[in-house]
Homo-oligomer: A and B are copies of this chain.
Amino acid sequence: MEREEVEVLLILAEELHFGRTAERMRLSRARVSQLVQRLERRVGAPLFVRTSRRVVLTALGAALRDELEPHHRAIDAALARAAASARAVEGTLNVGFSGPLAGEAVMRTADALGARHPGVEVHVCEVPFADPYSALREGIYDTQLVELPVGGTESDLASGPVLFTEARVLAVGRSHPLASRPVASLEDLADVPVLTVDAPLPAACRVLLAPERTPSGRPVPQGPAVSNAQEALVFVAAEKGAWLTAAHAATYHPWPGVTYVPLADAEPLAYGLVWRQTHHTPTVRAFAHTAREVL
């Protein structure tokens, strides 16, 4: 309404003709007349002098036109730009991942996305082991492929569907009683110190990587704290504790003195993309979409 009043001022000031103005605005002449009148009433003075033969801008009308025009155009342009950037898939995308399987998946997705959208450049980097979300929250990463769920209902993060799963294993020292068993159970964690992470992990992550209780509620002895895979393996080989991790470790981290025992009753780890809800750009969306297709 008010918007249209300003627009009718600008166009009529240009055309100086109600009929052509109405045509350009796709309105009836009567409507144009009404809109001008309403703006004039709002301002409190005539903006045009009109006879049946001629339309002329008032001094006030001309002044107002000069003042309003640039800002009116600017608002139009800003909205158009926003709409364009809401559609554009382009720019550089920083993608994090957790673990070698996720890393490989991200790489393949990045290649596929780059082929489809030449304007996109993807940077890939592993997320820190002990602090998986701060880089994402700080905007260093645009999205990352990590273990789900993120957890926390009031989270500023959102996640896509599960893209792949991975069995969970327990890494123990060679001479540990569990080392000779074909499979282990989460309940066994109550009988062995389990390596912990020395960082304030989100609850959902802690349950997966360093739980404080077994499913039945028995307390899990807390072993030394570690912050990456190398560290963990050193501790495990030295029989200082067991490392709760994912199946890929068996193939990517073979280690003398370390045995990987499958956890029979543990739900597999689910991996999916996570992003900031406030930065869910079309490029992130396209990456997530491509990932679903690739995987």
Contacts and interface: CB of A to CB of B under 8 A. Distances in A.
Contacts of A85: 60, 63
Given A2-B3, A78-B64, A86-B45, A56 B154 contact: no
Contacts of A42: 79, 83
Interface residues of A, number: 44
Given A78-B67, A154-B54, A45 B1 contact: no
A72 interface: yes
Interface in A116-158: 153-154, 156
A44 B82 CA distance: 8
A254 interface: no
Interface stretch (A170-178, A187-195, A233-241, A279-287): A279-287
B64 A71 contact: no
Contacts of A280: 46, 58
Nearest to A158: B49
Nearest to A47: B82
Given A59-B281, A278-B58, A75 B72 contact: yes
A199 interface: no
B68 A78 contact: yes
B1 A59 contact: no
A81 interface: yes
A53 interface: yes
Given A278-B57, A278-B58, A279-B59, A79 B43 contact: yes
A67 to B, nearest CB: 4
B63 A71 contact: no
B43 A278 contact: no
A167 interface: no
A43 B82 contact: yes
Contacts of A1: 1, 3-4
A207 interface: no
A183 interface: no
A218 interface: no
Interface string A151-169: 0011010000000000000
Interface in A68-101: 68, 71-72, 74-75, 78-79, 81-83, 85-87
A51 interface: yes
A67 B60 CA distance: 28
Nearest to A156: B56
B82 A60 contact: yes
A277 interface: yes
A54 B68 CA distance: 36
B71 A75 contact: yes
The 9 closest A-B pairs by CB, nearest first: A45-B86, A67-B78, A71-B71, A44-B86, A49-B277, A3-B3, A2-B3, A71-B74, A64-B82
